[in-house]
Structure 1
């Protein structure tokens, strides 16, 4: 078995990308991402696309700067299912962290569903430390086409982008 090398780039996600992002979730999810692009236009969030040389997104994710003062909160991270476990999620997270740091912020946060140990292991490998738990919920389309509410519990995780240890989840600031 021979390995394959992917050449990737990161850029802002655009409305033109959305038709090719159906792999990231339901039509309802993609419509929500479209709404978030308006927030990106206003500078409230960054919404990133990791792309192949063709320009096709193979991973997407956002950084919300309004969730917690002094931090960028990563959310809606998704890698095309056929390309998971190839390092693309790491590439996306590192790009998001660079965006956070470019805004002069020293802290990245995220919530990981407690029933997603693979994602949590990735975040821990990248230096994120658990500091709490919080509920999360969103609307999704059921297989029969009805709208249902999905509720879950998340582990809150943080990383000090300045290299200091994360302390107490409070985001110690100098």
Structure 2
């Protein structure tokens, strides 16, 4: 993966190469994934890893050579019949726009195909234009809208309900 960075006041571009691999996310990875969401979110991911053990879902991690996750995301095989549903896709903020999201989605699509399924779906918040543009570049097409809601834990331990409208997107594999 190549990424060019221009630092302020410095007219020289620097290319940084980061070698990564894609593997299953493991429970022992969760302490290194605090960048992906709140403690509530990580407890939810932990529950999903239990579902992965039964084959209901896959949960992937894009990892550095040091085996640290820098992108994670799940595939639910139970949410929609004959389809893999991608969800909880996240990339370490400092490494966004470096191709890790593309790698994660393509690896998820490969897992879906390996199960003999021929379509992938996902939902993206309407105001998340960057993510939607990525999914469109990867061939996903909007086919509807759906409200979604979840609880988020604040820094003070309070729970806040997050409600949003999502665009539903689908791609044939």
Shared fold (TM-score, shorter chain, > 0.5): yes
Which of 117, 125, 137 aligns to 1:113? It is 125
Deviations 1:139-170 (A, max 9, x none): 10124321111110000000001xxxxxxxxx
Matched, 1:156 2:165: no
Aligned to 2:151: 139
> After the TM superposition, which segments of 4 or more aligned residues of structure 1 sit over 4 Å from their partners?
none
Structure 1: unaligned runs, 5 residues or longer = 162-174
Deviations 1:1-50 (A, max 9, x none): 12111111000000110000000000110111000000000000000000
How well do the aligned residues superpose, as a CA RMSD in angstroms? 0.7
**Aligned residue pairs, count:** 161
Which of 20, 26, 35 aligns to 1:8? It is 20
Deviations 1:72-96 (A, max 9, x none): 0000000001100000000000000
Aligned to 2:109: 97
Question: Hey, what's the Cα distance between the residues in 2 that align with 1:4 and 1:13?
Answer: 25
Equivalences for 1:3-152 in 2 at 5 Å? 3-152=15-164
Normalised by the length of structure 1, the TM-score is: 0.91
